[in-house]
C-alpha cells in the first residue's frame, strides 16, 4: 500500500530496543520527533509524535508519570498496534496547530505548527491515462520548491506490488518524472498515486535533547490508469 506515514507504522522500528524503564529517564533527555500532515482528499489533519532517548536515533520511549501531548486541545494517544507512537486526527485544514507536550515533572513545551508554511499541491488536470512505454514528466499544480528543507514526492504503484518514488528537492524544481522502466514493471491497469509536499525543520520548544518536525500537504490516494498504447 502507498505510504501515508501517519496511517502506517513499521513495528520493527517502533518496538526495537524498548523496555519498561521509561519512567526512570530524565525528561530533559527525551527527543521529540513530530509529524503533522494534512490530507486534502479527506480533509483531515493527522499528528504523530514519537519520543526517543537522547537523539533522533535513540530508543523509543513510552510516556509515563502523567506526561502527555495535546494538539489544539485533543490528546494524542497510542494503541496496541503502535504503543510508542502518539497520534490524533483533527478535522479540516488549520493554518496553525498548537501542540503542547507536558513532561512528568510538569514542564510545558508549546509548539505552534504553521501548516501554511507548506503550500498546497495537487495533480495537474488530465494526468489520468499514462502510456507505460514512455517517461512522464509531471508538473504539479502549486508553487515550485522554494527552500532546501522542502521536497515534493510522488509515490506510485499497485496494492500488493512494489511502489516507486519520484522526488524533487532542489530550489525552483516544479516537476517529478515517472520512468517507463518503473511503469512497465507495474504493467497496464489501474495504479494508485499519492503526491505530497514536505518541509523538515527543527522543533523549536523542546527538552534539552531537542526535536524534529515534519510538516506536509498530502493529496491522498488518486487512481491513475496505466495503458499500453500501441
* Percent of the residues in the chain that have a pLDDT greater than 70, as a whole number: 90
* Percent of the residues in the chain that have a pLDDT greater than 90, as a whole number: 79
Q: What is the pLDDT of residues 190-211, one digit of tens each?
A: 999 999 999 999 999 999 999 9
Q: Report the chain's terminal Cα–Cα distance, integer Å.
A: 29
Checking if the pLDDT of 214 tops 90, the result is yes
Q: Could you tell me which residue, 99 or 58, shows the higher pLDDT?
A: 99
All domains of the chain, ordered by start, with CATH? 11-117+199-218 (2.60.40), 129-198+221-227 (2.60.40)
- pLDDT value at position 25? 85
Average pLDDT, the chain: 89
Q: Using an 8 Å Cβ cutoff, are 4 and 29 in contact?
A: no
Q: What is the pLDDT of residues 145-191, one digit of tens each?
A: 999 999 999 999 988 788 999 999 999 999 999 999 999 999 999 99
Amino acid at each position: 500500500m502507498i505510504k501515508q506515514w501517519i496511517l502506517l507504522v513499521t513495528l520493527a522500528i517502533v518496538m526495537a530496543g524498548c523496555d519498561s524503564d521509561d519512567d526512570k529517564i530524565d525528561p530533559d533527555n527525551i527527543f521529540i520527533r513530530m509529524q503533522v500532515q494534512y490530507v486534502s482528499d479527506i480533509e483531515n489533519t493527522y499528528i504523530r509524535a514519537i519520543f526517543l532517548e537522547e537523539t533522533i536515533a535513540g530508543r523509543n520511549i513510552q510516556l509515563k508519570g502523567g506526561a502527555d501531548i495535546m494538539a489544539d486541545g485533543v490528546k494524542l494517544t497510542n494503541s496496541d498496534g503502535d504503543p510508542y507512537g502518539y497520534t490524533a486526527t483533527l478535522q479540516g485544514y488549520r493554518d496553525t496547530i498548537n501542540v503542547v507536550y507536558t513532561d512528568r515533572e510538569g514542564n510545558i513545551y508549546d509548539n505552534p505548527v504553521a501548516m501554511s508554511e507548506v503550500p498546497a499541491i495537487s495533480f495537474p488536470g488530465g494526468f489520468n491515462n499514462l502510456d507505460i512505454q514512455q517517461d512522464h514528466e509531471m508538473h504539479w499544480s502549486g508553487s515550485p520548491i522554494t527552500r532546501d528543507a522542502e521536497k515534493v514526492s510522488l509515490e506510485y504503484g499497485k496494492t500488493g506490488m512494489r511502489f516507486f518514488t519520484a522526488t524533487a528537492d532542489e530550489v525552483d524544481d516544479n516537476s517529478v518524472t515517472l520512468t517507463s522502466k518503473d511503469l512497465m514493471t507495474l504493467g497496464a491497469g489501474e495504479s494508485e498515486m499519492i503526491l505530497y509536499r514536505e518541509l523538515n525543520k527543527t522543533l523549536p520548544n523542546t527538552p534539552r535533547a531537542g526535536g524534529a518536525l515534519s510538516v506536509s500537504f498530502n493529496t491522498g490516494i488518486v487512481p491513475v490508469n496505466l495503458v499500453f498504447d500501441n
